[in-house]
Structures are given as structure tokens and as C-alpha cells.
Amino acid sequence: MKEALSIETERMDDIPLLITHMQRMKLAELLDKHMPTHGHRKGLSVGELSVVWLVHILSQADHRMNRVQKWATSRLETLWGCGVDALCAQDLTDDRLADVLRLLSQDVHWHVFEQELMGQLVRIYDLQAQCVRIDTTTASSYTDVSEQGLLQLGHSKDHRPDLPQLKLVLASLDPLGMPLATEVISGEHADDPVYLPIIARVRDGLQKKGLLYVGDCKMAALQTRASIQMQGEYYLCPLSAIQAPPAQVSQEVEAQQSQGARLIQVERMDSEGKNTCIAQGYETVQTVTAQVDGQSQTWQERRLLVQSMASTHSAQASLQERLQKAQQALQELTARRQGKTRLAERVEVEEAIKDVLTRFRVEGLLDVQIQEHVQERLVRAYRGRLSGVRRVVTFTVSSQREEKSIEKAMSQLGWRVYATNYLDEHLTLEQAVEAYRDEYLVERNFSRLKGHPLSLAPLYVQRDDHRIGLVRLLTLALRVLTLLEGVVRQRLGEQKEDLAGLFAGNPKRRTAQPTAERLLEAFREVTLTVVSAPGFAQRYVTPLSSLQQQILTLLGISPAVYLRLVDE
């Protein structure tokens, strides 16, 4: 009698790569160390369970709890072979996963864990901690606002002020963009007070002073700058329009020009290999004084007057468009149209002209002339009304461009003031411009968190502690992505090599800056096939392509993480 064969196939994809990468980060060990659990807990530890869930999130781009168990059950052989040999389906129930979120939401334990994690990752991957970027974002949810709850109405960065939201603060390390410290607060909080606490946590976690902190204009609050200065740290941030009004900036630029100050140009090589000016500016130094904890703090602050070429060209085009629209609107003020009330008094015409100039923001740039036309017409006597002369007054409005004023206004567009306490020899104006322009690194993190592949929104959890825990879990996934991407890019740069085969439909296209998403996608369709019969079992793994082997080598991971699941 012939024995029946059983053939089962599992999708391995990027699972061995991700688990090995997280083992190197020691995520499971640190989570188990800092997240206290009940003494009678059975099954996978919090750290191991978190790693399995993170693999699901990164591999499937889905954080929903009710999808994890089914996904893992169809990949048990792979997960067991990657070191999670104690895993069973009962470990991945919704209540077990919700317990992970509850533990991650505990501030005291999370902060200690995060501080040790950031220091460990910097040591393991030999990262140079010199510049840290801090920014905030919001995540909205279709739910009701509850008093003292996490989701509150506030200034929405998603342009949905009608939805309650939570706020996420992220401190990321240059140049990887790897998150160092995170904070989740309710959505009505202002941005200004969040910078100093997260800076203190980064300082304690890295055990290093003298870092440069880069932020937006909300970090430029005087108390924030003074506190950073007092701690022996450095800051770089643009001043807001309240701290540096446009009129004041224009005066400072004119003063620098009249004094013959050196105009510093910032150049960057374009795609054709030519140096192109991307910005230019002047430097000034001011003495700043502020009170910090009852003590007076005085220091020298560099003010960088910077004009972005791209911003200037855009603003100039906008001004030309506004001038054209304003002239057209002025011409139509006195045009006769059906149903339109004509302006009969000169005062009315002058008020209308003023409204047009204000609406299009072109005051002082157009010379507007009002011409008054008077017509006298004889009116015949009719039914007891005496004959007479009727006087009709009409107006014509014309405008001319004030070219000198327009030229001056054009030259004043695109200027912005940046403040820093970094010494000139350590951070030149050119370096400061480049440093701030790399702000896209933290914005890219937010894009990953709120879109593909981490998909924070929409939130599929209902409790505030689960929401906080989920955000923190996704920031761990973000660390995995940024480190994986950073290591590959660094090795490619050291070896002066490119990767080909990452782009669907264009296999010959090469890149030295691959994204983590494309690197992981390269492992799709790697399968494990188990052929078994009573007393017999054999495993087969899809042979790794040259691209997949190259990616593993760049990550410092042996192809054995896949081959070890094959029976010899």
C-alpha cells in the first residue's frame, strides 16, 4: 500500500531577514528586561511576541491584531526555523497582542527601555551622534472626544480640524533618520513645550552633550533656545514671522547690502553635474538674554539671513500673477455690467481700489489713476416736472506698474532668518542651509508612520492605552526600517556599488540609495515547501537570487538564515 504524501508550502518572503535584523538590534531582550509581566505568564515572552508582530507589520503593511494569528499559523515552520520555536497559535490571540500594547503604553517602563535602546543601537551600528532632528505630527481618528482622553481637537497637520487627534513627537538621528526618542500626547497640546523634555531624554540616552538639535520655528521659542544653550547644546531653527517680521527682515537685508557685507552663496551639484546656487545669505551676530529657572542667561547668537532660490522664484512668479490679477480687477471696477451697481462717488472708487490692492497684496506696486468724466444732459419737462440739466459723473480707473518698486519687492522675496548658537568654524552658513534642508528625513518618517507601510491611520484600537502602545510599537518598526535602509546605503557607499533589479519593469535600473521597502520587496515569493509522509519529511527553499544574496551580504546577514530551514 502506497503512503500518502503531504505537501505544504509557506511564504517565507522577508521573515528570516527581519527576525535576524531584530535579533541583532536585541529588541526582544530589551523589551523583556524593561516590560514587567505577571509571574504566571505562559507562552511567548513580551519581547518575542512583539518581534513576531513587528515582522507581520513590516511584511504585510498591516498592524491590525485580528490578522496576525492567521498570518503566523500559515508560516509556523518558517517562524520556528527562525528561532521562535515556542510559538503557537494561542500566543497571537487579540487579548495577548492587546496586552503588549498595554505594557508599551506605560510611560515609566517605556522611557527606560527607549533610552537603553537608543544607546545600544548607536553602539551596535557605530552611528555618529552629532545631529538630532525634532518635529511633531498628528494622527486623526473617526471617534468621539472624551474629557481627559488622548484624542482631542487641535491644530491638525492633516488638514482635518473636525476630527480628534493625538500628537506624536519624534527625535531622529541624522543621517539615517532613525528615531531616538518618541512621545505621544493628546492632540490639543501646543508644539512649543514638547522640545525640551525630548531633548533631555535624548541627552540621557546617548550620554553625550554638544549635539546639534534641528527643528522648525516652534523650537525657536526664546525659553527653548536659552535652555538648550544653558545645557551646553546647540540649536538650529528658523525664526517665526512674529520673532522676525518680514519688514524687519527686509531692513536687515538692506542694511547688509548697504554695508557691502559678503553675500555667501550655497551651491549644489545638479543632475547634469553642474554647480547651481540653491541659496544665498548674510550672517549677523546678536546678543540674546533670557531668564531660565530664575537665572539670567546671556549668549551670542548667530542670525543667518538666507534667501532660498527656489522659494524666491516661486514667490516672484506668485507676485507677478497677483499684479496681473490686480490690474484686471482694477480695470473692471468701473465697467458697466447688467445687475452691477455703478460707483457714483469718488470716495467709493478709492475704497474699492484700496480693497483690490490689499486683497492681492500689491500695495505700493501699482500707480492707480482715477479719471472723472462729467456729462450734462438736457431733461425735458414731463407731467408737471420742469425741464433742466442732469449731471452724470462716471469714473475710469487705470493702473501702471511701478517697476522700481516691483524690482525692489522682488529682491526681498524668499528671505528667512535662522538662529543658531553654533560657532562659525563648526557650522558655516552653507552647512546650516544643507542641515535644515535635510528636514525631509523626519518628514519621511512621518510619511511611513501615517501611510505605507506602517499605516498608523486609521487607528483600529479603541482604548487610549492601546493607542499609545500601538504608536510606540510602530515607532519600533520605523527603527527597523531606517536601520536596515541605512546599513545597506552605507555599505554601498563604502564599496562604491549600485543595486540593480529593485524596480519592477526596469530590471537594469541601478541605485545606490535603495529604500527599505524595495529591499524587503525583493524577497517576495521566497517559499518553504515541506514534503512529508509517515516517518519522512523533507524541506525545500526557493533558491536565493543573486540580488537577494547581495542584499543579505550588505546587511551582514548570512544566506544561512534561509538555507538552515532546508534539510540536508
Tell me the pTM.
0.86
Residue 143 CA: distances (Å) to CA of 151, 153, 441, 470: 8, 11, 31, 17
Average pLDDT (384-390) is: 71
Average pLDDT (281-305) is: 90
DSSP β-bridge partners for residue 131: 212
* Three-state secondary structure call for residue 360: coil
Q: Taking CA 401 as the corner, what is the angle to CA 398 and CA 404, rounded to the nearest 5 degrees?
A: 150
Specify whether the CB–CB gap between 285 and 303 falls below 8 A: yes
The three cell numbers locating residue 423: 560657532
Q: Indicate the length of the chain as a whole number.
A: 568
pLDDT tens figures, 360-383: 999 989 998 888 787 767 777 777
Find all residues with CB under 8 Å of 402, minimum gap 6, and list them.
Answer: 364, 365, 366, 367
Q: Taking CA 250 as the corner, what is the angle to CA 248 and CA 252, rounded to the nearest 5 degrees?
A: 70
Radius of gyration of the chain (CA): 32
DSSP β-bridge partners for residue 275: 269
Q: Please state, in angstroms and rounded to a whole number, the distance separating the CA atoms of residues 64 and 74.
A: 17
* Three-state secondary structure call for residue 283: strand
State the pLDDT at residue 568. 42
- Using 50, 70 and 90 to split pLDDT, how confident is the model at 567? low
Specify whether the CB–CB gap between 472 and 465 falls below 8 A: no
Question: Does 53 have pLDDT greater than 90?
Answer: yes
Residue with cell 487627534: 165
State the pLDDT at residue 1. 44
* Three-state secondary structure call for residue 240: coil
- Using 50, 70 and 90 to split pLDDT, how confident is the model at 469? very high
pLDDT tens figures, 394-413: 888 888 999 999 998 888 88
Question: Does 52 have pLDDT greater than 80?
Answer: yes
